[in-house]
Amino acid sequence: MPVKFNINDFEPIYYSTTGYPEFWECVYRDSIEHFSKIWGKVGPLYFFLIKINGWEPNLNSQQKPFAESKFIRKSNSNLEKEYCRIVNRSEKNCVNREGGNHGMSWSLNPNTMVITMTMSPYQDPIQFVIGPIHEYMHAYQTVYGYSEKAVASNQMGQSLWRGPSWWMEGSATFVSSLYCYQNPVLFEDITDRWDWEAYSRDLNTHLNNYKKSRKTIQQGATYDDWNLLENENLVHEIIYSGGSIACVFLIQQCRSLQKFMEIFPLIPEIGWGEAFKKSFGMPVEAFYMKFQKFVANAKVSKETPSEKESWCGFLKER
């Protein structure tokens, strides 16, 4: 089965529910366009911004439409039909219409990636800037995570090729929030800011979550790990928070986002473990040891933004 994802120049296609606020469609799409102009347009990729009953519009949040969004608008039931056609599935309810979700899923026959968003822009506007890049990172991981070798040896879904769970969610969370911090222009049209104060608070919250969990990211590697952690209500603490702190440590080794991102094109060729070693200069096992020390020495600073000398302070320099 050939795996044909496009790693260059696929124009994503955007759908939304009839009556969706155009301002937020533009904010969302601009964020994707900004990021993908630099790191590449992967695909085939489809977006579904779904409006759920019961959103309460916040009149204080800006509504000036600054461009035509050019989303394809349909009723929710027609969006669902369109979705099933794209992923070649016939079941009813294949779209998750529950509110408050944002996620990427993929299919292999045909090779397609779909991102669905049911969060309300009035509840969490920042999710319309950082969130799209987080999900786009999953699309990125997917196109660089599958190779014919991986499919042929039936290693899909295993951590061998795409990387462990903490890496999948950690790198998506870390790259999206760092990128947004480095590009304040993304927040130009909304009132929320992602300055050092906000970003540092976010990083320190992750550090605090992870420290308090008393587990390690090694316990958040496989699909089974994910399920076990779910039973203990620790998925967020280990896989998301621990994973993003791990990426802070890793970018400290390779020194720039540019270098950090260079791991992805290596993965289809040599697999995640070897690509990791090449990118960050140490085998995964050695990293786990060093990372434990890094966490033990890192001091949580939630009230005041972390200083330059602190565990994450080097990120302050935009």
Q: Token match 């790259």: residue?
A: 175
Q: Site size for Zn ion, by CB under 5 A?
A: 2
Q: Which is nearer to Zn ion, 169 or 225 (CB)?
A: 169
Per-residue x/- track, 183-202, Zn ion (CB under 5 A): --------------------
Number of C-beta neighbours around residue 237 at 10 A: 21
Tell me how far the alpha carbon of residue 169 is from its chain's centroid: 6
In the chain, the amino acid numbered 153 is S
Q: Are 311 and 294 in contact (CB under 8 A)?
A: yes
Q: Rg for the chain (alpha carbons), in Å?
A: 20
Which strand (E) or helix (H) includes residue 163?
none
Instruction: Please identify, using beta-carbon distances, which residue of 73 and 162 lies nearer to Zn ion.
Output: 162
Q: Which residue is nearest to Zn ion (CB)?
A: 172
Which listed range, 1-9, 18-26, 163-171, 220-228, lies at the site for Zn ion (CB under 5 A)? 163-171
Q: Which amino acid, residue 300?
A: V
CB of 36 to Zn ion, least distance (A): 17
Among 79, 172, 178, 186, binds Zn ion (CB under 5 A): 172
For the chain, the residue count is 318
Cβ proximity to Zn ion, 25 vs 169, nearer residue: 169
User: Which class for 252: exposed (0-12), middle (13-18), buried (19 or more C-beta within 10 A)?
Assistant: middle
Closer to Zn ion by Cβ: residue 261 or 298: 261
Contacting range for Zn ion; rule: CB under 5 A; set: 164-172, 223-231, 241-249, 266-274: 164-172
Beta carbons of 75 and 41 less than 8 angstroms apart: no
CA dist., res. 229 & res. 53, Å (int): 32
Is the CB of 97 or the CB of 236 nearer to Zn ion? 236
Q: Which is nearer to Zn ion, 26 or 133 (CB)?
A: 133
Q: Which two tokens stand for residue 56?
A: 């309460």
Question: Shortest distance, CB of residue 173 to Zn ion, whole angstroms?
Answer: 7
175 near Zn ion (CB under 5 A):
no
Residues in contact with Zn ion by CB under 5 A are 169, 172
